[in-house]
Chain A
Amino acid sequence: MIRLEKRPEPNHLFAYLTPLLAVLATFFFGGLLFTVLGKDPVTSILTIFWEPLFGEFAFFYRPQLLIKGAPLVLIAIGLSLGFKAGIWNIGAEGQYIMGALFGAAVGLACYPAENMLIFPAMVLAGAFGGWLWSMIPALLKVKFGTNEILVSLMLVYVAEQFLASMSLGLLKNPEGFGFPGSRNLQQYASAHNGEIIAGSGMHWGVVAAMIAVIFAYVLLARHRLGFAVRVTGAAPRAARFAGVNPSRLILFCLGTSGLLAGLAGLFEVAGPAGQVSIDFNVGYGFTAIIVAFLGRLHPIGIVLAGLLMALTYIGGDIAQSQLGLPAAAIQVFQGMLLFFLLALDLLTNYRLRIGRTEAA
């Protein structure tokens, strides 16, 4: 008989080990999945995880790691603050869309003027758009006690419709022969979020992600606000006694994650994506939830998890074109990772005892 015994305090070894164990378990069961799909499991796993980093065309894929990883890390850092405090922002996808729309709108409004201030103004507008969208669930929660999970999620569907309406209407390219979608910002020098170092994949979004990581690290380790976040998550009642104002914490956590998701959206629309289009959003807001958990809600962990998840995207694309592996298989793979992580987390807080129940 296996039974569980609560550890007096979380085991630190397992706290670091569980993400690794979860990755290994995902390799194994992902391999099984690929076998069921009629692919060689070893080749599939190697194609996804080895090819982009060390394969023949790695020089092409490696910069992609930063391009795909930056939005994930940026969003996940914001989400992790809330998750730590038990404030669940699930609507990062919507905040990402609104950030992109606000930012792109500023850039498109300035077209074709060239000015050094246009891009900074777009960054501010993008951050503001995401922040604004996250303030809806935040204020409703503070004022009326409305569930922020459901509201932030509903707002994703609203934002998607809003995106469609904008790319068919107000932001549509007037020279686009009636096709939906805005002008391409990559062809507008003042608004383009290009590579800072050619061939590295390093754009301003990567810089922003690095700043966010440092900011979150310092905040959590050194600042009173970070203490409030941690204590609220661990013991909400104790937090009250420690003088934490729950309303302010909700506004801060949701606001920060909305702001960062908005930034991620702006950097994406002005850089790799280039334009506002109906299918502009690709689910970074949802994948970032996995990134936040896989990184154990820790800034450094989130960077590693973000890079790993970016790798599954890039490797997944390669596996799709070379092996004919369906794109959805990668999504299942990512979902599995979260499952194993949540299940194995048990080992951090509990001890497995094999044998009969002892008398208490």
Chain B
Amino acid sequence: MDLSAINPVLLIAALMSAATPVLLAATGELVAERAGVLNLGVEGMMIIGAICGFAIAVETGSPLVGFIAAAAGGAALSLLFAFLTQITLANQVASGLALTLFGLGLSALLGQGYVGIKPPRMPDINFGPLAELPIIGQILFSHDPILYFGILLVAGVWAVLKFTRVGLILRAVGENHDAAHALGYKVVRIRTFAIMFGGACAGMGGAYISLIRVPQWTEGMTAGVGWIALALVVFASWKPWRVLLGAYLFGGITQLQLNLQGAGVAIPVEYLAMSPYVITIVVLVVLSADKSAAPGSLGRIFHASH
């Protein structure tokens, strides 16, 4: 065991990358939940994004096109959820589970020809002299564009929800869909867009795993990150900046656990590998006392006849 092999600067730089998939997925889910939709299909949308992004990046040779395809794939799958919950008024919990089960199967089917291939690499952004700064340079200016996009997305979602009319309407629909309907807002249409936005973000989160974090395709490679994203939204009390904080906390645990494995700590690998899930449960317990922040109509079915 050699703990001195763990370099704190590298650890912090790596945790930002480890946090990005869950950050993207959780930000998308946050928007859907603020609109009153509980979509438990995040894991399914992520894995579809992972394979769509991977396949298209390999075929076109462009990781950026891959990410766009991943967003489209996630959004397309989320439309199935939107159809089930908004048009046929199915139970949101059951529909979300269906989406995950279906997504896991479909991604395995689509990914058959892509096992063992290396995807094209996404180059890091060149910040020039900024990257040369000691410590700060490596932590802040040595990453791929999607990582920065994730942070901008959080800022964007925060600003839209807080300051714009669109954000106000979205929140109104989430807090009380009957009142929003009475005011003339198209509840179903707004929720469908929110669901699709969530799907696109989850898809990109999945692609980040298959294109940048792991750079390969294996079945079920999202391994529960989608569910952790759902937990993260609760952790964040439905506030965007807290999603960022939570994601970095989670990324830190994931990365530290990997570093400890590498350093050969006396704890068996399996127990280190289960630690992110166990810590997520502990965090959920600590924070679940306060549910006051949850949108009022979260998980409730809306039909204009009620």
Chain A residues close to B by CB (< 8 Å)? 4-6, 37, 88, 90, 136, 140, 144-147, 149-151, 153-158, 161-162, 164-165, 168-169, 286, 289-290, 293, 326-336, 338-339, 342-346, 349-350
Of B280, B281, B289, most A-chain CB atoms within 10 Å: B281
Q: CA of A149 to CA of B231 in the docked complex: distance in angstroms? A: 10
**A136 surroundings in chain B (CB, below 8 A):** 281
Which stretch in B22-30, B84-92, B156-164 binds the other chain? B84-92
**A338 surroundings in chain B (CB, below 8 A):** 94, 97-98, 101-102
Q: Does B270 contact A (CB under 8 A)?
A: yes
**A293 surroundings in chain B (CB, below 8 A):** 94
**A88 surroundings in chain B (CB, below 8 A):** 93
B289 touches A339 (CB 8 A): no
**B97 surroundings in chain A (CB, below 8 A):** 90, 289, 338
Residue of A331, A344, A345 near B108 (CB, 8 A) is: A331
Q: CA of A236 to CA of B303 in the docked complex: distance in angstroms? A: 20
**B288 surroundings in chain A (CB, below 8 A):** 140, 144-147
Q: Which B residues between 87 and 126 are near A, CB-CB below 8 angstroms?
A: 88-91, 93-95, 97-98, 101-106, 108-109, 112
Contact A345 B224, CB 8 Å, known A157-B274, A331-B104, A339-B80: no
Give how many B residues have a beta carbon under 8 Å from the other chain's beta carbons: 47
Contact A334 B105, CB 8 Å, known A146-B284, A293-B94: yes
B88 touches A289 (CB 8 A): no
Contact A165 B234, CB 8 Å, known A157-B223, A332-B105, A342-B98: no
B101 touches A334 (CB 8 A): yes
The residue on B at minimum CB distance from A163 is B270
A145 touches B268 (CB 8 A): no
Chain B residues close to A by CB (< 8 Å)? 40, 80, 83-84, 88-91, 93-95, 97-98, 101-106, 108-109, 112, 219, 223-224, 227-228, 230-231, 234, 268, 270-271, 273-274, 277-278, 280-281, 284-285, 288-289, 291, 303, 305-306
Contact A151 B284, CB 8 Å, known A157-B277, A158-B278, A338-B102: yes
B93 touches A149 (CB 8 A): yes
The residue on A at minimum CB distance from B40 is A149
The residue on A at minimum CB distance from B90 is A342
B95 touches A150 (CB 8 A): no
In angstroms, how far is the closest chain B Cβ from the Cβ of A146?
4
Of B101, B274, B285, most A-chain CB atoms within 10 Å: B101
Q: CA of A154 to CA of B306 in the docked complex: distance in angstroms? A: 36
Contact A342 B94, CB 8 Å, known A328-B109, A334-B101, A335-B106: yes
In angstroms, how far is the closest chain B Cβ from the Cβ of A211?
27
B284 touches A328 (CB 8 A): no
Residue of A5, A153, A328 near B105 (CB, 8 A) is: A328
**A169 surroundings in chain B (CB, below 8 A):** 268
> Considering the complex of A and B, which 7 residue pairs feature the smallest CB-CB distances, nearest first?
A331-B105, A335-B102, A328-B108, A165-B270, A161-B274, A332-B105, A342-B90
B83 touches A331 (CB 8 A): no
- 5 further A-B pairs in the complex, CB-CB below 8 A; given A6-B306, A150-B234: A147-B234, A154-B228, A157-B274, A168-B270, A342-B84
In angstroms, how far is the closest chain B Cβ from the Cβ of A108?
19
Contact A342 B95, CB 8 Å, known A145-B288, A157-B224: yes
B109 touches A158 (CB 8 A): no
Residue of B88, B109, B271 near A343 (CB, 8 A) is: B88
The residue on A at minimum CB distance from B43 is A153
Q: CA of A332 to CA of B274 in the docked complex: distance in angstroms? A: 28
In angstroms, how far is the closest chain B Cβ from the Cβ of A23?
15
Enumerate 8 A-B pairs (CB-CB under 8 Å) in ascending A order. Answer: A150-B227, A150-B234, A150-B281, A156-B224, A162-B270, A162-B274, A164-B270, A165-B270
Q: CA of A15 to CA of B58 in the docked complex: distance in angstroms? A: 46
Contact A350 B109, CB 8 Å, known A146-B285, A339-B84: no
**A156 surroundings in chain B (CB, below 8 A):** 224
**B109 surroundings in chain A (CB, below 8 A):** 37, 326, 328-329, 331-332
Q: CA of A125 to CA of B88 in the docked complex: distance in angstroms? A: 43
In angstroms, how far is the closest chain B Cβ from the Cβ of A326?
6
Q: CA of A5 to CA of B89 in the docked complex: distance in angstroms? A: 12
Contact A346 B90, CB 8 Å, known A144-B288, A144-B289: yes
Q: CA of A11 to CA of B230 in the docked complex: distance in angstroms? A: 35
Q: CA of A290 to CA of B105 in the docked complex: distance in angstroms? A: 14
B268 touches A165 (CB 8 A): yes
A6 touches B303 (CB 8 A): yes
Residue of B91, B271, B280, B303 near A342 (CB, 8 A) is: B91
The residue on A at minimum CB distance from B291 is A145
Residue of B94, B230, B277 near A158 (CB, 8 A) is: B277
Contact A151 B281, CB 8 Å, known A162-B270, A339-B84: yes
**A333 surroundings in chain B (CB, below 8 A):** 105
Q: CA of A153 to CA of B280 in the docked complex: distance in angstroms? A: 11
A154 touches B277 (CB 8 A): yes
Q: CA of A345 to CA of B271 in the docked complex: distance in angstroms? A: 43
In angstroms, how far is the closest chain B Cβ from the Cβ of A307?
19
**A345 surroundings in chain B (CB, below 8 A):** 88, 90
B83 touches A343 (CB 8 A): yes
**A290 surroundings in chain B (CB, below 8 A):** 98, 101
A5 touches B305 (CB 8 A): yes
A154 touches B280 (CB 8 A): yes
Q: CA of A234 to CA of B223 in the docked complex: distance in angstroms? A: 34
Contact A161 B231, CB 8 Å, known A4-B303, A4-B305, A346-B89: no
